[in-house]
Structures are given as C-alpha cells and as structure tokens.
Amino acid sequence: MRFNEKELVSLSRQPSERAAELGMRGPKKGDVVKKRLVKLIVNFLFYFRTDEEEPVGALLLEQCRVEREDDLAFSIAFLDEAERKYLFECDTQEQCLDWIDSIIKASYEFMRKNLIFYRTEIHRLTGKDPLEQYGISDETRFQVNTSLQPLPAPPT
Amino acid sequence: MKIHGKILNHYISCSSSVDKEGYLYKKGEVNTSYQKRWCILKGNLLFYKERQSERDVLGVIVLEGCAVQLCESEEKFAFSLVFSEPGLRTYKFAVEDQPSQESWIKALLSANHGYLTLLLKDLQEQYLEATRAAGEAPADPQCLWGDTMASHPQSWGPGPGSTFYTNPPAPDVRDSAGHNSQQLLQATAALAKAANKRSPKLWPKRNALVAPINCPAPPQGEWSEPTEDFGQMHEEFGKEVKELIADWLRQKQGEGLGEGDLIDLG
C-alpha cells in the first residue's frame, strides 16, 4: 500500500502527546526487546532508534486492544487475523498506566464513542442536540447506530 | 519508515463505518493525468482504490498537517490537499459537481485529529454543565460500555481507574495537539478578528486552511493566539468554505468559462 511517507515522517517530528524511551518487542517469534524512543502523536505510535531522525516505523492505533501485561509492561494487539502483539516495557508502574491511558484515548473509535455518549446525554438532559448548533448532526461518524445491522422483520 | 500495511488494511476492511466515500479524480504524481479513484475517508486517513469493487487498496494519504484549498486547475470543481512543510506534496483532486466539492472539502477539513479532540472537549464541557444544571452526578462514559468490551476492540485493562471525563484537567491543546490542530485553532482566531474588516475579495493572510487560489499558504509562525473554542472554530469554517466557493464560482462565471466536459470520461 502506498502512503505519503514524507508527510508522515513530518508528523513524527511534531509535538507528541507522550514520548519516552521504552523497551519494545515485535510480534514475531524470535523478536527481542529493543530500546526505542516511542512517540504518541494523534493516533499514531512512532518508534525511533535512539538518536535517529526518521522513525523505524509507525503503528496506527485503531482496531487494537491495549492490555496490561505485568507491573511494568503493556501490549498492543492488532485485531487482524494474525492478532499480532507488540510489547512495551516501562520504567515505572505509573509510566505504564499513563501510556495505556493515552494510547486508548488516542483512537478515533474511542473519541467517537465518547462523542456519541455525550451527544445522547446532553440531548437527554437538555432536550437539545449539541451537534445541531454546529450543523454536523447528520454526519455518519456521529450517528449512534451506524455499525449496527437492522433487525430482520419479525415472522408474520 | 515502515507503515505496517496489515494494520491499515484491517482498519479499512473491518466493519466499522466509514466517514465518506465516493469517486474522486486524483492527479497522479508520475502520470500527471487525473485518474478516477474510489476514495474512502475513515478517521484521518484517505484511502484510494482503483474502483469500488476492487478489494485491494492502492494507497492511503494521512491527513495530518495539511490544508484544504481550492485550486486553479484545468478541471472544474478541483481542490487540493497542501502539506505546508517544505519538500512535502500537494495532492490534487477533482469532482463532478459543486455539491460534491463542498461536501468533500468539508469532510477533509474536519478529518484531522485535532478537530475531533476539540469537539470532544467541547461536548464534555457541555455535558458537565448539563449534569450540574440537572443536579445529576456526571458518569464516566467508559464504565457504561463495560458490557460491550467483548465486542469492541478497545479494552481498558486495569487502567488508571480513569475518571478522565469526569474530573478532567483541561487538555492544553497548544502543547499536546498535533501540527494541524495548531493551524486550526490559530486560523480561527485570526478569522474571528479579521471577520468584520475583511472585504469579500480579500482574505486574511493567516488562514492557510481554506485559501483562495492565488494566495500562497502563509509561513508558520505568523499566527495569533489559538482559541480553544470549538464553536467559534466551526462557525468560521462553515462560513468561509461557503464564501470561498461562492467567490470562486462568481469569478469563473465572470470569466465566461464555457460549458462542456473538461474531463473526458471516455
């Protein structure tokens, strides 16, 4: 798949939500833990070899599961067929928890769920749809039931 | 740099909804003709395939750090994605009609992470206000989805027992948000200030996001104080997009642009 690499590398140089040197291990058998500078920017996790300008890689933080592995480590599993898991080792428990929190909150899926929750609640509490004032109430991404299939008609 | 294509492929092909899709004419880099591509906007990613029925994705454009501009082109209803840092690319697109153009421009303008982050913060504040007014205790949205965790990919794990949305420290969008969010916020502030004095033809130099044809995107570093108000930002964007398109149409009509297909659909 082609992608706009230069622009993505440029993104990796922007201010990050969170950045630290962590131990990182890839998903394949035989992968070992390597020290990497890990940077969370928007919904991408960039990882660099220490002192290198260009990231080694970029992980899109969508459709993934973040789990606490032990006191100091968390993992990110991507939900494609292979369910590949990346492991990250932190220096402290607090750092580990902070990373888990930040990664979870970075995804569009997370933001969308929260938006829909607030939209529904505000409407319940005030009778008004907060998205109406912005003229964006019809956007697909803010609809409650977008990913649900309609129920089949009941038997007559 | 490795992009982990399998992750992207899974994201585009999984069942969660897309934000917008349709055929766009995309100008190639090597082959500089416009080619019809089925484009899918999901989050801050614009995927493109040869055609709708095609399973394989040709490529993806990450929509962070870019401005959306109308562009001077032999094609009607053209617009471009301009990545403003030196050495970065401009992607040119064209559509069939003005409503599609407007619809795509709006969708692409609001696709970036910073926009959604601001909107979320705004709704969160409204929610807290509403619960206060109603005398209710605000709920933590994460707790309410507990029983859907099995079906939803994101699980919280033994997280920090986060009450992120009930006792939030106000996120400082200036420091943490990405590149493009800075532009959004700053552009809005500049627009708001200039709105009353601006003539229809002139454009506040500071707005890089929706810019007229012959204004170069202003260099970084000229911006005024960013606003944290989503409402303000949104208002300005909507207005500016409409005015821009109306302006451009009037200009084109004045030049007596002939009818007839500029794009040969074969």
Pick among B127, B165, B180 to test the A interface (most A CBs inside 10 A): B127
Nearest to A110 among B1, B133, B154 (CB): B154
- Substitution target from A62, A67, A68 for chain B, most B beta carbons within 10 A: A62
How many CB atoms sit inside 10 A of residue B73's CB?
Answer: 18
Report the complex ipTM. Answer: 0.90
Could you tell me if B55 lies within 8 Å of chain A, comparing CB atoms?
no
Dump the DSSP string for B211-227: --TTPPPPPTT---PPP
Tell whether B134 is within 8 A of chain A (Cβ): yes
pLDDT at A33: 97
Q: What is the pLDDT of residue B208?
A: 38
Average pLDDT, whole number, for chain A? 91
Sequence-separated (6 or more) residues with CB below 8 Å from residue A67: A74, A75, A77, B155, B157
* Mean pLDDT for the stretch of residues B96-108: 94
The predicted-structure confidence for A8-36, as pLDDT tens digits, reads as follows 999 999 999 999 999 999 999 899 999 99
Give the number of C-alpha atoms closer than 13 A to the C-alpha of residue B144, restricted to the C-beta side: 12
pLDDT band at B252 (very low <50, low <70, confident <90, very high): low
The overall pTM is greater than 0.90: no
Residue B65 at interface with chain A, using a CB cutoff of 8 Å = yes
Rounded to an integer, what distance in angstroms lies between the CA atom of residue B129 and that of residue B26? Answer: 45
A78 SS3 class: strand
Of B2, B151, B218, B117, the residue nearest A63 (C-alpha): B151
Q: Return the residue of B nearest to A43 by Cα.
A: B113
CA-CA distance, B203 to B34, in Å (whole number)? 29
Mean pLDDT of the region B140-168: 41
pLDDT category at B130 given cuts 50, 70, 90 is very high
- pLDDT (0 to 100) of residue B244: 63
Confidence of residue B205 (pLDDT cuts 50, 70, 90): very low
Reported as a single tens digit per residue, the pLDDT across B161-192 is 332 322 233 333 333 333 344 344 444 433 43
More confident residue, B160 or B240: B240
Tokens of B116: 């959604």
- Backbone φ, ψ for residue B258 (5° rounding): -70, 160
Phi and psi of A85, rounded to 5°? -115, 130
End-to-end CA distance of chain A: 49
Instruction: Return the higher-pLDDT residue of B215 and A89.
Output: A89
Residues of chain B contacting residue A8, judged by C-beta atoms under 8 Å apart = 1, 3, 62
* More confidently predicted of A146 and B14: B14
Give percent above pLDDT 90 in chain A. Answer: 82
Q: Is B138 exposed, middle or buried (0-12, 13-18, 19+ CB in 10 A)?
A: middle
**Which residues of chain B are within 8 Å of residue A59 when distances are taken between CB atoms?**
4, 7
